[in-house]
Amino acid sequence: MKKILIGGAVPVILAAFLGTPYYFGIKAQQSLEEQHKILSDTFFFDVVSHNYERGWFSATETTVIRFHPALLTNLSGQIPANIKTVLDKPITIVNHVKHGLFADGFTPVRASVTSEFQYDPEVQKVLSRFFNDKVPVTMKNTIYLNGSGKLETNVSPFEYEELSGIKLDWKGMQSQVDYQSGFKSYTSQYQIPLLKAVLADKGDIALEDLSIKTHTQEGKTGVDLGSTDVKLGKFSIAWKENIDYNFRINELINMVTDLQIGAFINPTGTIAPSNINVEKLSYQAQTTEKDEQFVDSEGHFTFEKLNYGTEQYGPLDVNISAEHLDGKSLTALKKRWEQISTDKIPEGQAQDMILEAVRKEGADLFVHNPVFKIKSFNFTAPSGYIKVNGDVQFNGLQKNDLNDFNMLLKKMRANVNFDVSNQLLEQFAISQARGLFATDDASASATNPDPKALEDVNETIRLMVAGTVKSLAEDGYVKQSNNTIQTNVLLENNQVKLNGKPFTIQPDEDILADIEADDSPSSASVPATQSAK
């Protein structure tokens, strides 16, 4: 009897031993095919070829990918030549698959997959300059019995130096992605201890203790839902040459809304050689789905301290949210931006196309009564502080209203509270006024302005600000205490209220008259008021 039982058990055990790896090989292939589809749908990759060879106890999956050529062409001006060489060539990923119940040790799994990256000889030559004989990237994918799994990736550290004085210190990167079956949801973690670059006599950049954690799942409208948590221990940058800047904010507003805004809001100037250090920076974001159409999103950005040269700024605490956003419009806008990034675009037209997409694919974001909230904006600068909170709502807005300033104001309700230091307000006005005197002439921008003339302009602006604030306080539009200004700005029914009072203001001539010399009283205008539009 025992012989019969033993004899019957042996075939069963043998069948299980041989059949289980074959069964899990089929299931492992299903999981890897799902992951391959996700890779092939990624907009910045092209899959050149894909092959899967499954055996009884193991399998080999070979995939050749390359970055989308048009994407690299569009970014060619921002990518160093060495990096472009690496990204321009195809990469072969060979997945060595072991399938079976104990393919990964004592923990039951479908399969254990180790990835081997094979590079073009030209790319390998470039990588060897940095990593020497180290393997640049290693990756392991553990697929559990239910199709979920864990994907671990490591980028090796290196130190690099050139005779020109360029130095790189990279301490590597570790990442782990825990995913559900079919990547319906996944949690990612990334750790970068240090990246430091010395750019010869140009300056240097350093990034320390960067950690990123995300949780992602697809919503009903196609929007990626979930959370993001980014922490950065320290970021520093130093430069040894002047940096000219001219941000044309008015052109951006015009592209989005067709509204013509004056150039006075364009920051312009030159940043002298200096350095910036940011400490304990963090960013958290969360996107949730209210129903089958609308999503809410919230972001929280902070840093403890920012040193700019000898001046210290911070802390900064910004918490903003956008509610009742049309999910389909967000998805369409994302797809359009992805398409733009992979299309061949004439030089200089990419920004225009991106903003045009906001006006077309993104228009529905504004026509479903969205609410944008500034839950808190608290910032401390050397010249004082500013605190802001409030919200902006659009009610009954139509797409055509985005091109009609009066209709935009009529259907918008904004309620914002301000608490700001006098000195900070003066400094802001001075920096804006400098943009008015700026010129696009390169030879003029290279000329150092007369310090005395510049200080005279600054003092004039301070007097103008002080006179304006005093007048507003006397009329009840703002409150003043301890060198600070508080007010509430309400825009409703095409009318502006400051501190609960319908806003009227003297013409500019009368405001300027307060600071004119006493010997020219005739130049002042006759007092008058008008409603703000």
Segment 193-204, tens digit of pLDDT: 999 999 888 889
Q: Would you say residue 509 has pLDDT above 70?
A: no
- Tell me if 179 sits within 8 A of 186, measured CB to CB: yes
Q: Looking at mean pLDDT, say which of 226-240, 259-273, 337-351, 426-440 comes out highest.
A: 226-240
Residues 454, 508 share a domain: yes
Q: Tell me which long-range contacts 54-58 makes (C-beta under 8 A, separation of at least 24).
A: 54/25, 54/26, 54/29, 54/97, 55/25, 56/18, 56/21, 56/22, 56/25, 57/21, 57/25, 57/98, 57/99, 57/100, 58/25, 58/96, 58/97, 58/98, 58/99
Residues 249, 106 share a domain: no
Residue 185 covered by a domain: no
Mean of all residue pLDDT scores within the chain: 82
Residues 386, 350 share a domain: yes
Cα–Cα separations (whole angstroms), residue 121 to 34, 62, 243: 30, 18, 38
Residues 519, 371 share a domain: no
Which of residues 370, 405, 440 is at a domain's end? 405
* The total number of structural domains that make up the chain: 3
Q: Which of 10-14, 34-38, 74-78, 132-136 has the lowest mean pLDDT?
A: 10-14
Residue 395 covered by a domain: yes
Q: Which of 49-63, 99-113, 128-142, 510-524 has the lowest mean pLDDT?
A: 510-524
Residues 401, 432 share a domain: no
Cα–Cα separations (whole angstroms), residue 170 to 139, 193, 208: 19, 8, 10
Residues 343, 257 share a domain: yes
Residues 9, 132 share a domain: yes
Residues 444, 392 share a domain: no
Cα–Cα separations (whole angstroms), residue 333 to 265, 358, 397: 27, 7, 19
Residues 6, 116 share a domain: yes
With cut-offs at 50, 70 and 90, classify the pLDDT of residue 505. Answer: low
**Nearest alpha-carbon partner for 476 in 503, 495, 496:** 503
Q: Which domain holds residue 79?
A: 1-162
**Nearest alpha-carbon partner for 323 in 359, 288, 355, 358:** 288
> What is the structure's pLDDT at 351?
76
pTM: 0.81
Residue 17 covered by a domain: yes
Residues 519, 443 share a domain: yes
For tokens 């899959």, name the residue.
Answer: 47
Residue 308 covered by a domain: yes
> What is the structure's pLDDT at 454?
78
Residues 482, 367 share a domain: no
> What is the structure's pLDDT at 115?
97
The pLDDT of 246-264, averaged and rounded, is: 52
With cut-offs at 50, 70 and 90, classify the pLDDT of residue 264. Answer: very low
- In the structure encoding, which two tokens stand for residue 183, read together? 């990547």
Residues above pLDDT 90, as percent of the chain: 43
- In the structure encoding, which two tokens stand for residue 455, read together? 């200080």
Residues 392, 249 share a domain: yes
